[in-house]
């Protein structure tokens, strides 16, 4: 089994290098002047040119890229932000707790909503409740997150005045971004759960268990859901990793100090060290979560165990 884990770990390295190369190339092709961003518009052109030379901005692309990879991957040095002058790692770590709190709470919420309603929809197939849930999930999935976020501000902040529209002042500030994100994420999970549970319900072993006189709740939750849980857990795990990289839409609309909002601000300001740091952080978090999901799946799948048993 260690061979499987090692293989997945080694795959993370070329993935991160590929992501860094693509983003680095895009940022290099984008017109920008680090010296001017750091020194400001009042600095002389001579000072700006001198600082650009010190930063290596005028060197060839591959030279700058290889130097960055060496500093980032071997020394874990990501430089300082052009705008704040603070280390990139500190900037990310200062914003990560907000993102982590949002992701953990929202993952618990949308998992409970999506899985519970998905099982109900499958058990009550073609009933009025099933039809309502299917239509509602498709409608919610069709709405972009930024539209839901703005409608939440319009209704609950401007019209009703119940909840704050931005910032983190108290516990009420978390309700709109977490609630709307959970609503948006629960729709595809509901449909996935319904499809997988319906597939399991039609299996022969379910008819056998029912023929033995087992209660329906025991049939659904102990037998059907147990055999349906693995792909659902995989989906939730991958979504959790993607969200940890930054809930960009919710954080930007509600002005929350998270990693996604930090990366978006860095892009607007062309703060290359911060952009690269956020990119590597998001990619690494996502790859690690996918690795965890793969390991859980491997330990739960006898075929993978047998393949790597030697």
Mean pLDDT of 116-128: 89
Work out the angle at residue 33's Cα, subtended by the Cα atoms of residues 28 and 35, and round it to the nearest 5 degrees: 125
Provide the domain count of the chain: 1
Range of the structural domain that residue 222 is part of: 88-307
Which two structure tokens, joined as six digits, stand for 289?
């979560």
pLDDT at 247: 78
Does residue 190 have a pLDDT over 90?
Answer: yes
What is the reported pLDDT for 29?
78
Task: Specify the range with the lowest mean pLDDT, choosing from 17-31, 45-59, 163-177, 263-277.
Answer: 45-59
Query: Which CATH number does the domain housing residue 227 bear?
Result: 1.10.3720.10
CB 1 within 8 A of CB 298: yes
Angle at 143 between CA 141 and CA 145, to 5 degrees: 95
Span 197-222, pLDDT tens digits: 998 888 888 888 888 888 888 888 88
For residue 125, is pLDDT > 70?
Answer: yes
pLDDT above 60: residue 308:
no
Percent of all residues in the chain with a pLDDT value above 70, rounded to a whole number = 94
Instruction: Please report the pLDDT score of residue 23 as a whole number.
Output: 87
* pLDDT (average), residues 290-305: 74
- Quote the pTM value: 0.81
Domain-located, residue 281: yes
Q: Which of 109, 6, 77 is nearest to 277 (CA)?
A: 77
Give me the pLDDT at residue 205, please: 85
Q: In whole numbers, what is the pLDDT of the chain averaged over residues?
A: 84
| Within a domain: 64 | no
Task: Please give the Cα distance from 141 to 17 (Å, whole number).
Answer: 33
The whole-number pLDDT of residue 286 equals 85
Question: Whole-angstrom distance between the N-terminal and C-terminal Cα of the chain?
Answer: 8
Return d(Cα 154, Cα 253) in angstroms, integer. 12
243 or 92, which is more confident: 92
For residue 310, what pLDDT is reported?
Answer: 52
Q: What pLDDT sits at residue 189?
A: 92
Would residue 35 count as lying in a domain? no
- Identify the band that residue 118 occupies on the pLDDT scale cut at 50, 70 and 90: very high
Range from 55-59, 260-264, 293-297 that averages highest in pLDDT: 260-264
Q: How many CA atoms lie within 13 A of 25 on its CB side?
A: 7
Task: Indicate whether 143 belongs to any domain.
Answer: yes
The Cα 138–Cα 190 span in angstroms is 10
- Domain presence at residue 43: no
- At residue 109, the pLDDT reads 93
At 8 the pLDDT is 78
Burial class (CB in 10 A: 0-12, 13-18, 19+), 160: exposed
> What share of the chain has pLDDT > 90, as a percent?
14
Q: Is residue 290 part of a domain?
A: yes
Q: Are 182 and 108 in contact (CB under 8 A)?
A: no
For residues 189 and 107, the answer to whether their CB atoms sit within 8 Å is no
* Interval 277-306 mean pLDDT: 79
Q: Cα(265)–Cα(8) distance, rounded to whole angstroms?
A: 33
Whether 304 has a pLDDT exceeding 90, the answer reads no
Instruction: Report the C-alpha gap between 125 and 107 in whole angstroms.
Output: 26
- Is the model's pLDDT at 246 over the cut of 60? no
Q: Is residue 252 part of a domain?
A: yes
Computed on alpha carbons and rounded to an integer, the radius of gyration of the chain in Å comes to 24
Taking only the tens place, the pLDDT of each residue in 70-96 is 888 888 888 888 777 788 999 999 998
On whether residue 83 sits in a domain, the answer given is no
Is the C-alpha dihedral spanning 34, 37, 40, 41 positive or negative? positive
For tokens 């399991």, name the residue: 200
């Amino acid at each position: 089994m260690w061979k499987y884990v090692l293989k997945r770990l080694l795959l993370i390295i070329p993935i991160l290098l590929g992501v860094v190369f693509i983003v680095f190339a895009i940022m290099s092709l984008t017109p920008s002047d680090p010296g001017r961003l750091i020194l400001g518009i009042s600095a002389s052109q001579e000072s700006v040119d001198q600082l650009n030379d010190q930063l290596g901005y005028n060197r060839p692309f591959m030279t700058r890229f290889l130097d960055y990879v060496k500093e980032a991957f071997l020394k874990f040095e990501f430089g300082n932000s052009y705008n704040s002058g603070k280390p990139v790692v500190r900037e990310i770590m200062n914003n990560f707790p907000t993102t982590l709190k949002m992701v953990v709470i929202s993952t618990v919420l949308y998992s409970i909503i999506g899985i519970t309603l998905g099982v109900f929809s499958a058990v009550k197939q073609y009933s009025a409740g099933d039809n309502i849930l299917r239509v509602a999930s498709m409608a919610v999935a069709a709405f972009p997150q930024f539209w839901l976020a703005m409608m939440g501000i319009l209704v609950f902040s401007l019209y009703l005045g119940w909840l704050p529209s931005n910032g983190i002042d108290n516990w009420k500030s978390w309700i709109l971004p977490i609630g709307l994100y959970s609503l948006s994420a629960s729709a595809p999970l509901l449909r996935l759960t319904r499809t997988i549970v319906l597939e399991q319900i039609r299996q022969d072993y379910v008819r056998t268990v029912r023929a033995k006189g087992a209660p329906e709740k025991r049939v659904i939750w102990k037998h059907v859901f147990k055999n349906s849980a693995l792909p659902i857990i995989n989906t939730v795990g991958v979504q959790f990793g993607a969200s940890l990289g930054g809930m960009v839409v919710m954080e930007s609309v509600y002005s929350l100090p998270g990693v996604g909002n930090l990366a978006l601000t860095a892009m607007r300001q062309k703060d290359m060290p911060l952009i690269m740091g956020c990119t590597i952080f998001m990619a690494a978090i996502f790859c690690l979560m996918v690795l965890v999901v793969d390991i859980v799946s491997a330990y739960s799948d006898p075929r993978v165990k047998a393949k790597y048993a030697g």
